Every structure is written in structure tokens, then in C-alpha cells.
Structure 1
């Protein structure tokens, strides 16, 4: 009976989906080069896990890794995936704030927590619980896969010593995306930048320092041009995740989607395990290379936080007016972080 049913289906040009074996050619895009951990997690965990999960399903995937801006620059990955130039990419909310605005909630709430895994998993969970988080992807023709990119606690790295906040007055400090808001109230002049340009622009005097994190500062050799490292506890952050072209993803069999979910979970675990073990190593190696590392006093931290504009409130209200309820997301994020044990220097959602 099964043979007759299959023969009839073939005669009608219909093949049961579960019986069709297919090989998928998949391009993965990242604007950053593979020296960075969030790109390496694709090669070292996501891809091999997906391929392992597909064994025995009759399906397979061949991956073409297009990193370092080969088909999409930093902040252009979502557009490349949306246009179908790549099936999967690192959709970086930090560098695509117009399209992934609500995903930037942690970057509008500094001084909340240095626990990078908690920040990343909290934002990842918001995608499960809050339809407005997923809407940001659907509105742009992509699908959230997971593998959140957590960023370790931000540091201030400068080419001059910082003994007090007064030392920042008039200094040009680069920061990525919404992190420029953190400089409000310090007297510093915020300049937009990213990891691919920091070294040369500090070296050539475009700016005097950067807000950056240890795990990227070491491989980027920023200690060579900005040897004064001040630990202010500005906070760990969520910067993006893997996303897929919506039409392509929707066409995949459930077994392939399940394999990608497993790949994203494996990448998330590997990424944060590796990151957490590396942060202390990075600080130690920069110290050994001649950097001067100091810890800001509690008074300096409190003064910085107190003088900062509440950009989170302004950000949320502006998005609310556009029909994107960021105030709810801001509250949900802050509540989740406080419930997890975080003690923010300011309760950005309650002011």
C-alpha cells in the first residue's frame, strides 16, 4: 500500500516532504573578520553542530563563509540577508539601530551588570516572550535564529591617564552605536566608531580613546595606542545574533530548522564559555604588554552614572510613538536583570 501511494504521489508530481533528501548551499555573512569570537563561533560551533545534527535526516548543508566584509560590511549584514545575498548573517543590532532598535535595550542601560552571560541570555529570552522583539526581524524579511552575541564589560581605554572624570573634559572618545550616549555628562566629545577603525584612528589622532571591551581590545592591540585602561563597570551588553532570510528559512524542512536551533544553542554556549575564560587573560596580557590598568573608584562610577542623560527613557518614548513599544521591553529587561541579581547604579526604567 505504501508503494502504491508513493507511486500515485509521484504520478501527480507530489513528493512527500519527509522523503525528499536535499543539500542546501548556504552563504553566511559577517562584517567583522574571524579574529573576533562572534565570527569564530559560526565556524567552530554553529556550522559543525548543524552538520552533525543533519546526519541521518537525508539533508545536508554546505556553507560558504563570507566574513570580514567580503559581501557585507559591519552593520550591513541584515540587509545582505534580507536581499538574499546571504542566507544567514550576524544581524548586529548595535550597528543597525534603525531596523533592530528594540534589540539595543542593553546599550541604553549602562551600569546594570558586568555578567555577560546573564545579559545575553536575558535578551535572548525576551525574543521568546515578547512578540515585539521578533517583529523587528519580521519587518525586515529576516528570522531570529539565536546565538546571542554577548559583549563583556566595557572599559575606557585612552592615550592619557584618567585620575578623575575631569580628565575627560574636551577629549574625543570613540564609542559604538548607542554607547555614545554613555559619554553624556562627562565633558568628553563622543565620536562614532567601531573595532575595525579604532587602532588607526587613535594612532593618527582622530580621537583620544575608546569605550571598548577587553576581549576585543587585546586581539585589536588597542593597548599599543591607548595604554591607559580604566575599569568603570559600564556593563556587559547584547550586540546582535544570527538571523536568516525569512523566505529561505520558511522553505526549510522542520529537521533542518531543528538542526539550526541546535547549532545556535551550541554556538551560544561555546561563545560565552570561551569569552568568560578569556577576559581575565586579555587584561593580564595587556598589563604584561605595558598597559596601565586602574579601577575607577565607586565615587567616580556613581558620578558618571548620575550625570548621564537618561537616554533609555528618550529612546523608549521615541519608539513608543512609532508603534514599537520599547518602554515595555525596557521594563521587562530591567526587571529580568534585577530578578537575576543585578544591582543597577540607576533604574533607567523607573525614572
Structure 2
């Protein structure tokens, strides 16, 4: 049976959240909603909040004959909360919806961080985002991570692979020994395997921390580094490419979502998945552009040889086993999810540098 896009989205709503049919009618046609992010709109996973969710929603409602229009309040760049609070802000209705960064929620959203726990598996953004959207749609344990926080989740966000931005050149892995690298906590096992130390932080704080010497470099995606001009403080760029990774995405407070009229729910849900697709497109486009600009603006860009990447990944401990066993102790099916993740990555065309499920 063929089904059109709108029917598919309606089906997705029924699977991902308790759609309240005949939800309360609004006394007026205007619905006030707030959409937010701790990061600025220059970042590729924040841009579609405005260009997709906000800019397209009212046009779609009008096109479909809805009586409702949304009056949007947009709060980006940390104006409401910082990078540590993206989950709580939506869960506790400080904002109605927004970008949620799972990498700062390793205890609450561990399954959403699987790509950080087992890196070097994907080669394209489509492989990464399709893998995670499939798992979030099909696996009950992954759905529960969102629903337990009163969040209705619609689309994963994705980044390009991670690279090194340092004050001194990296010619061999031993050059990283003893180096303080700024980054998110889930990257700690990566850098510790080559003798570096991770300094926990978020992208908005990195420029100042590099400038003041808190870190001697950072492990970060190129599309996150360029807009904040991190290459001005760390001009040696080593293209590692750990593989594109997902790390949360677009979520709506469930109480807010269930209070909306059905036609508004359908539009938000459809645009939520489109957010995911547009984020992936922007990453591909911007990564190529930004690496050209690094060179144009005086940074020294080199590529880490494949044999060094393979040595790096093989020096890491059995991260898949450690991650899965730790979750099993908490009653979370880490082993099952890891096996399904590795299989799904390969179904999507990914070629992992290491089989992280082999040690289970």
C-alpha cells in the first residue's frame, strides 16, 4: 500500500507519542510557542530550527487549511540556558521545544550517545543520521530515554567527524601525549588512549579557553570550529575524521505537544524529521567550505594518515563492551542495542574501522 508523506508523519506521531485526539481547542487562532538552543544559529544543527521549523510551519498550516498560526519566540545562543541544560530546559518547559544535546547527558541519554562511545564507524552524514533515526523509531529502550523525560523526539542531529585543532602541529600520535584538549566528556576515552587529557567544555566557551590557556587544543568538528574562529587560537588543524556522529536532536516537551491541535502536531512532527535532513545537508555543504576557509585564513591543515587512525582506534580499550556492560548493570539493554547499531551502520553503507560488538 502506498502512503503519502503526510500519512506517514501521522503514523510516526502515533508511534512516537500519545497523540491526544480531540485535544483542547484554543480560544484563539494564534498559538504562542518558544523554540530555543544553547548554541547560535551559525551552528548547523541550530540553523534548521529557524529555517525549517519556524519559517515553514505557518506556510504549511495555511496550505493545509488550518485555522491556526504559530507566534514564535526564538531564543538561541544561550539566551535562556547554557549547553549543560538543553535537556532540562525542554523537559521542564523553560522552552517548548529545541535542540537537545545528548553528549552532555551521558547518564540520562546513554543510548543516544552510542556513536561517541564507539567511534570510527561511519563515513557519511547520511549513514549516521539514517542509522540513529531508524533506531530511535524502532527500539523501545531508545524511545524510553525521551519519553521518561517528558520529551517527544522527532529527528536526530548530526555532525561531521571530529578533528584536532591545536596550538602546535600533530605529526604523530606521540605529539598528543600530555596535551590538554577541550571537548565533551564522551570524547575522553578517545584522547586518553593517546595520552592526552580531556577538559570538559562546550563549543561556546572554547575560544576563550584556548586564548587563556585552559586548553592546548580541542577535539572538535570542523563545522563547529570554524564559525567561532577557533583556528585563530589553535591554527594547526589535523583532519582525523572519526566519522559523522549523532548527538541528540530536535525534541518537543510532550505536555506542550499534546496540548496542540492535531493539525499543528502533524506539521511540527513532519518538520521535525525535515530538521534532521536539513541538518545533514548543511553539514556536508559547510564542511567542504569551512576547510577551504581554514587554509585561506592561515591555518595549517594536514590529514592524519590512515595507519595512524587505525593505530589510534586499536589503542582504545574495548569501548563497546565497557559501554554495553555498564548499561546492562543499570537494566538498560546495551548489548542488544550495540549489536543492532553495528548491523544498522553497515546496512546503511558504513565501514567500521573496528567491530565494537566483537568483544561482547
TM normalised by structure 1 equals: 0.91
The alpha-carbon deviation at position 254 of structure 1 amounts to 2.2
Match of 1:93 in 2: 102
Change over 3 Å in CA distance of 1:157–1:253 after alignment to 2: same
Secondary structure in structure 2 of the residue aligned to 1:197: helix
Deviations 1:190-221 (A, max 9, x none): 22122111111112111111111111211111
Within the alignment, does 1:255 sit opposite 2:263 as a pair? yes
Is the contact between residue 49 and residue 266 of structure 1 (CA under 8 Å) also seen in structure 2?
no
Residue ranges of structure 2 left out of the alignment (5+ in a row): 1-21
Change over 3 Å in CA distance of 1:72–1:16 after alignment to 2: closer
Give the one of 43, 50, 58 matched to 1:43. 50
Match of 2:321 in 1: 313
Secondary structure in structure 2 of the residue aligned to 1:257: helix
The alpha-carbon deviation at position 156 of structure 1 amounts to 1.0
Change over 3 Å in CA distance of 1:116–1:177 after alignment to 2: farther
**C-alpha distance in structure 1 between counterparts of 2:356 and 2:207, whole Å:** 32
**C-alpha distance in structure 1 between counterparts of 2:53 and 2:185, whole Å:** 27
Match of 1:80 in 2: 89
Match of 2:135 in 1: 126
Cα RMSD after superposing both structures? 1.8
Secondary structure in structure 2 of the residue aligned to 1:26: strand
Match of 2:8 in 1: none
Residue ranges of structure 1 left out of the alignment (5+ in a row): 1-14
**C-alpha distance in structure 2 between counterparts of 1:335 and 1:21, whole Å:** 49
Secondary structure in structure 1 of the residue aligned to 2:46: helix
Within the alignment, does 1:159 sit opposite 2:133 as a pair? no
Within the alignment, does 1:322 sit opposite 2:330 as a pair? yes
The alpha-carbon deviation at position 262 of structure 1 amounts to 1.9
Match of 2:343 in 1: 335
Within the alignment, does 1:31 sit opposite 2:38 as a pair? yes
**C-alpha distance in structure 2 between counterparts of 1:323 and 1:264, whole Å:** 30
**C-alpha distance in structure 2 between counterparts of 1:177 and 1:236, whole Å:** 17
Match of 1:108 in 2: 117
Within the alignment, does 1:143 sit opposite 2:155 as a pair? no
Deviations 1:133-152 (A, max 9, x none): 11001111111122x21010
Larger of the two Rg values belongs to structure: 1
Matches within 5 A, 1:218-233: 218-233=226-241
Is the contact between residue 123 and residue 351 of structure 2 (CA under 8 Å) also seen in structure 1?
no
